[in-house]
Amino acid sequence: MSEVEQGFSLDGEDLSFRLGDTVLQAATRAGRYIPHLCWHPDFAAHGSCRICTVKVNGRAAAACTVQAAPGLDVESDTEELNAQRKTLLQMLFVEGNHFCPSCEKSGHCLLQATAYQMGMEGPHFEEFYPDRPVDASHPDILLDFNRCILCELCVRASRDVDGKNVFAIGGHGIGTRLLVNSDSGRLGDTDMALADRAASICPVGVILPKRRGFVVPIGERRFDAVPVSEQTERSP
């Protein structure tokens, strides 16, 4: 892919991009951080979490879905947009059941790391406390739906990479939820394997390998030493 002659502006700094790049892809390639949850460099844009919402020439848009174009003026790291991101994160926290201190993903969790990055100190809204039973039927993989943020990365990975279609999305509105594809609806009755891409793609603590609890001690985990803003995923 070719570099485009003229770049676009991200928070006042010029950024080059390749033809076909979205704003988020171009920023990530340049090592610039735009907060995001449902986006992953290996997958097509999804646009559901809205954490990456930026202002493009003054208009709000999700950075993961906006095509980069010469001369665009993109604002991302502003007080207003970061406050909005914090509110979106608080919405995700109150929607599910997120208890970081007891979560195996703590320190490896993109939701938690992003919330720290945005200065979130409390839930702000009243908690929903939904009733979401865990699925421990699979011999190697635990599903804890309490933490699901509906990014659909597992749906996409299982469908597009693993070719297994283990997951799908069901329900609507606040009742939207992750479904498992088997007659029983349980993971143990699918052909999912620990080596699948879907087993390691979850940005939060829904899909976890069994019998690997706290192998990396708290304090030495991915986001413990270096904040999420300083370790952007490199695009392929």
- List residues near another protein by CB under 8 A: 45, 47-51, 53, 60, 62, 65, 67, 84, 87-88, 91-92, 94-95, 125-126, 128, 149-150, 165, 167-176, 179-183, 185
d(CA 175, CA 231): 33
Q: What are the CA-CA distances from residue 210 to residues 24, 29, 142, 215 (Å)?
A: 33, 34, 6, 11
CB of residue 211 to another protein, shortest distance in Å: 27
Give least dist CB 128 to another protein, A.
7
Q: What is the smallest separation between the CB atom of 57 and another protein, expressed in angstroms?
A: 15
Sign of CA dihedral 179, 166, 197, 53: negative
* Residue whose entry in the numeric block shows the structure tokens 């665009």: 72
Smallest distance from another protein to CB 60, Å: 4
How far apart, in whole angstroms, are the C-alpha atoms of residue 47 and residue 66? 10
Give the integer Cα–Cα distance in Å for 123 and 151.
20
